C-alpha cells in the first residue's frame, strides 16, 4: 500500500527505536515508533475537533521539530496537508486560505499578524492554533482520545495540497495523492541509492515540494533519517553536517553560490568525509558554479530537476560522477520523459521542444481548476511541464528555458539560460538572470539583472564586453542592471518575471 501511513507503520514495526528526525535547536529527536504514536495522536485530536477525512489542515511555520511531525502526521491521519508559504505576498496568503478550504491552521507566534489578518478576510470560520515549534508536546493538556478511530487511507486519497509560487496571477493548488508522494520519495531514493544508513540535511522549507518530498519523505521511504534545522544558514551548514553525520544534502543553486562565497572548510573543525553527495534542484545549476563548488569542497553535486506537479523529482544525474553531465539535470528516474513539438509529437534527439513527464508521481490535478488541469495533464497521463529542452542520445535532458520565459528577438528564440551561463563565467558575478523586454524594433530585447560578489566593483560596459566575447552581438543584453539581490521564490529559484517590474 503506497501511503504515508503504511511507511510510517512499516518503519515503526521494523526499526522502532531508530531515529527518523533530529531537530538541532531544541536538541530533540523522533524515533520511528514515536512518529507513529504522535501521528495517531494528532489524527485523533483533529477528529475530536470535528474534522473529517479529506479535510484540509494547514501550517504557517518555519522548519523544525513540530512542523515535520505535523507535515507527516496530518497525512497519516487521513487529512490533506496544505502548507502556507511564508514568503507569499499577503494577498496570496488570503487567497490560499480561502481557495484551499482549509479548516484549521497551526502557526507560530511570528506569523500571527499575517495569518489573523488573512483569516479575517475569509468568509468562513478557520480554527487557528498557536504552537511552539520547539515544544516537546503539541497538546500537553489533552489526553482523552478514547473512542476515536482514524479513517482508512488509500493510495488514491489526496495527501498534499500545495500552491505553486507563480510570478503573475494567483497561485495554482496542486493536488498530490498518497501514491504521488510515495512515488516521489521512491524515485528520489532510487536516483540517489539511499539506504537506511543515509542521513539528510534539510536546507529547504517544508512549504516547498523539494523540502517536503526529497528530504522528509524519501528518508521515510528508504528507512533513513533527516536533520531538520529551523532554516538554512551559511554559518552552521557544515557544522550541522559534521555534528550529526549527514551523508547527503539537498540545496538550490543560490545556496551553492552562497556557500562558495562565504565558507572555507579549512578554517572549520568539521567532519565531511561521510558526505556521499550534495543534490541541486529547483532551477538550472550553471556549470561554472557546479564545478567551483566541487573544486572548493571536494564534494560532488548531483544536478536534478523536479516540479511541484510531480512530487519533486523527474530527472537526476547518476550517483557515479563519471557518468554525469554538467549542464544537464540528468535522465528520467522512475518516471518517463520525452521532448515534443508544438503539436505534441515526440521530436528527434538533440531537437528542442517541450519536456513532458509521465509517472506515478504526476499530480491528480489542480484544485478547483479543471480547465487548467485539462491543458496541463493529458488523458494518457503525460504532463506538460512548460519547460523547454532537448534530450541527447544517452537520454540526458538539457533544459534551455521556460516556454513563457523565452526571449523572442527579431523572430529568433533565445533561451535565457544561455545568457545566464555566460554571465556566470565572469568572476565578479554572484547571481544572474536574463528576461525579454518590449522593443519597438525587435519585438523583444534582452535585459540581464546581476548581483555581484562581495567586494567586487564592475561597470555595465565591462559585463557587456564579456557577453560579446561569449555570446556574440545578437544575444548580448541591451540593458544590464545591478541589484543587491535577485528576487527569489521559496526554494531559492530566481523569479525572472519579477525582474521586469524591479527595473522599470
Give per-residue pLDDT as tens, 416-447. 888 999 999 999 999 999 998 887 777 788 99
DSSP 3-state of 419: helix
Q: How many Cβ atoms from other residues are within 10 Å of residue 348's Cβ? A: 9
Evaluated on CA atoms 127, 212, 184, 10, the torsion sign reads negative
Is 283:261 a contact under the CB 8 Å cutoff? no
- CA 72/CA 20 separation, integer angstroms: 12
Residue 240 has a pLDDT of 98
Q: Is 43 exposed, middle or buried (0-12, 13-18, 19+ CB in 10 A)?
A: buried
Task: Name 402's bridge partners.
Answer: 387
Is 35:12 a contact under the CB 8 Å cutoff? yes
Q: What region does 147 belong to: left with phi over 0, alpha with psi -120 to 50, or beta? A: left
- C-alpha cell, 172: 495554482
Q: How many Cβ atoms from other residues are within 10 Å of residue 68's Cβ? A: 25
Residue 504 has a pLDDT of 58
Q: Can you give the pTM of this predicted structure?
A: 0.86
Cell 557587456 found at: 464
Evaluated on CA atoms 238, 87, 102, 118, the torsion sign reads positive
Report residue 199: phi and psi, to 5°. Answer: -135, 125
- CA 362/CA 311 separation, integer angstroms: 7
Q: State the DSSP H helix or E strand holding residue 471, giving kind and residue range, or none if neither.
A: helix 460-471
Low-confidence ranges of the chain (pLDDT < 70): 165-169, 411, 413, 502-504
Evaluated on CA atoms 266, 272, 277, 281, the torsion sign reads negative
Residue 411 has a pLDDT of 67
Among residues 66, 53, 57, 71, the alpha carbon closest in space to that of 128 is found at 57
DSSP 3-state of 259: helix
**203-233 residues labelled b (16+ CB within 10 A) or e (exposed):** bbbbbbbbbbbbbbbbbbbbbbbbbbbbebe
Share of the chain above pLDDT 90, in %: 78
Is 80:160 a contact under the CB 8 Å cutoff? yes
Report residue 383: phi and psi, to 5°. Answer: -105, 130
Task: Name 2's bridge partners.
Answer: none
| Residue 2 CB contacts under 8 Å (≥ 6 apart), including other chains | 155, 178, 179, 182, 183, 360
Query: What domains sit in the chain, N to C, each tagged with a CATH number?
Result: 4-134+153-391 (3.40.50.12780), 406-503 (3.30.300.30)
Among residues 313, 308, 406, 316, the alpha carbon closest in space to that of 352 is found at 406
- CA 386/CA 164 separation, integer angstroms: 14
Q: Is 98 exposed, middle or buried (0-12, 13-18, 19+ CB in 10 A)?
A: middle
- CA 287/CA 444 separation, integer angstroms: 27
To the nearest 10°, report the CA torsion of 420, 275, 4, 369: 0
Residue 358 has a pLDDT of 98
- Tell me how far apart the terminal alpha carbons of the chain are, to the nearest angstrom: 53
Report residue 355: phi and psi, to 5°. Answer: -80, 130
- CA 62/CA 133 separation, integer angstroms: 8
DSSP 3-state of 291: helix
- CA 270/CA 267 separation, integer angstroms: 9
Task: Encode pLDDT of 259-318 as tens digits.
Answer: 998 888 887 889 999 999 999 998 788 898 999 999 999 999 999 999 999 998 899 999
- C-alpha cell, 368: 478547483
Q: Is 27 exposed, middle or buried (0-12, 13-18, 19+ CB in 10 A)?
A: exposed
Q: What is the DSSP letter of 319?
A: S
- Alpha carbon distances (Å) from 67 to 39, 205, 482: 12, 10, 37
Residue 164 has a pLDDT of 84
| Residue 169 CB contacts under 8 Å (≥ 6 apart), including other chains | none
Residue 168 has a pLDDT of 43
Is 220:8 a contact under the CB 8 Å cutoff? yes
Residue 126 CB-half CA count within 13 A? 27
DSSP 3-state of 5: helix
**Parallel, antiparallel, or unpaired for β 158-163 and 173-177?**
antiparallel
Residue 167 has a pLDDT of 39
Cell 544534502 found at: 249
Residue 367 has a pLDDT of 98
- CA 59/CA 108 separation, integer angstroms: 9
Amino acid at each position: 500500500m503506497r501511503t504515508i501511513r503504511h511507511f510510517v507503520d512499516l518503519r515503526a514495526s521494523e526499526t522502532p527505536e531508530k531515529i527518523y528526525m533530529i531537530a538541532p535547536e531544541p536538541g530533540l529527536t523522533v524515533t520511528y515508533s514515536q512518529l507513529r504514536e504522535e501521528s495517531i495522536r494528532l489524527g485523533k485530536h483533529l477528529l475530536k475537533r470535528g474534522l473529517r477525512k479529506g479535510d484540509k489542515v494547514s501550517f504557517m511555520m518555519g522548519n523544525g521539530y513540530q512542523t515535520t511531525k505535523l507535515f507527516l502526521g496530518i497525512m497519516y491521519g487521513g487529512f490533506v496537508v496544505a502548507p502556507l508559504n511564508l514568503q507569499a505576498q499577503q494577498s496570496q496568503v488570503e487567497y490560499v486560505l480561502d481557495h484551499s478550504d482549509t479548516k484549521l491552521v497551526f502557526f507560530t507566534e511570528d506569523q500571527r499578524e499575517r495569518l489573523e489578518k488573512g483569516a479575517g478576510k475569509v468568509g468562513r470560520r478557520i480554527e487557528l492554533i498557536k504552537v511552539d515549534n520547539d515544544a516537546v508536546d503539541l497538546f500537553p493538556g489533552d489526553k482523552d482520545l478514547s473512542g476515536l478511530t482514524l479513517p482508512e487511507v488509500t493510495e488514491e486519497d489526496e495527501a498534499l495540497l500545495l500552491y505553486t509560487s507563480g510570478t503573475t496571477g494567483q497561485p495554482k493548488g496542486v493536488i498530490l495523492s498518497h501514491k504521488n508522494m510515495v512515488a516521489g520519495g521512491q524515485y528520489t531514493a532510487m536516483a540517489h541509492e539511499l539506504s537506511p544508513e543515509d542521513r539528510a540535511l534539510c536546507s529547504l522549507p517544508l512549504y516547498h515540494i523539494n523540502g517536503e518530498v526529497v528530504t522528509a519523505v524519501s528518508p521515510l521511504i528508504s528507512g533513513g533519517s533527516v536533520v531538520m534545522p529551523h532554516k538554512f544558514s551559511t554559518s552552521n551548514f557544515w557544522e550541522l553536517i559534521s555534528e550529526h553525520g549527514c551523508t547527503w544534502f539537498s540545496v538550490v543553486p543560490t545556496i551553492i553560490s552562497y556557500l562558495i562565497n562565504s565558507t572555507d572548510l579549512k578554517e572549520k573543525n568539521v567532519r565531511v568525509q561521510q558526505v556521499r553527495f550534495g543534490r541541486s534542484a529547483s532551477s538550472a545549476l550553471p556549470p561554472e558554479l557546479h564545478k567551483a563548488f566541487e573544486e572548493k569542497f571536494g564534494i560532488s553535486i548531483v544536478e536534478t530537476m523536479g516540479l511541484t506537479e510531480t512530487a519533486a523529482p523527474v530527472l537526476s544525474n547518476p550517483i557515479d560522477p563519471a557518468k554525469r553531465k554538467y549542464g544537464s539535470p540528468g535522465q528520467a528516474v522512475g518516471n518517463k520523459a520525452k521532448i515534443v513539438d508544438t503539436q505534441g509529437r515526440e521530436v528527434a534527439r538533440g531537437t528542442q521542444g517541450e519536456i513532458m513527464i509521465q509517472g506515478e508521481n504526476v499530480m491528480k490535478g489542480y484544485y478547483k481548476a479543471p480547465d487548467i488541469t485539462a491543458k496541463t495533464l493529458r488523458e494518457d497521463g503525460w504532463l506538460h511541464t512548460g519547460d523547454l529542452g532537448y534530450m541527447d542520445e544517452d537520454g540526458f535532458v538539457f533544459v534551455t528555458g521556460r516556454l513563457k520565459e523565452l526571449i523572442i528577438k527579431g523572430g529568433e528564440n533565445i533561451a535565457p539560460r544561455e545568457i545566464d551561463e555566460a554571465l556566470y563565467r565572469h568572476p565578479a558575478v554572484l547571481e544572474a538572470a536574463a528576461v525579454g523586454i518590449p522593443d519597438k524594433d525587435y519585438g523583444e530585447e534582452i535585459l540581464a539583472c546581476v548581483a555581484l560578489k562581495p567586494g567586487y566593483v564592475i561597470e555595465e560596459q565591462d559585463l557587456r564586453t564579456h557577453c560579446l566575447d561569449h555570446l556574440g552581438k545578437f544575444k548580448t543584453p541591451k540593458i544590464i542592471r545591478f541589484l543587491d539581490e535577485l528576487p527569489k521564490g521559496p526554494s531559492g529559484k530566481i523569479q525572472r518575471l519579477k525582474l521586469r517590474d524591479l527595473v522599470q
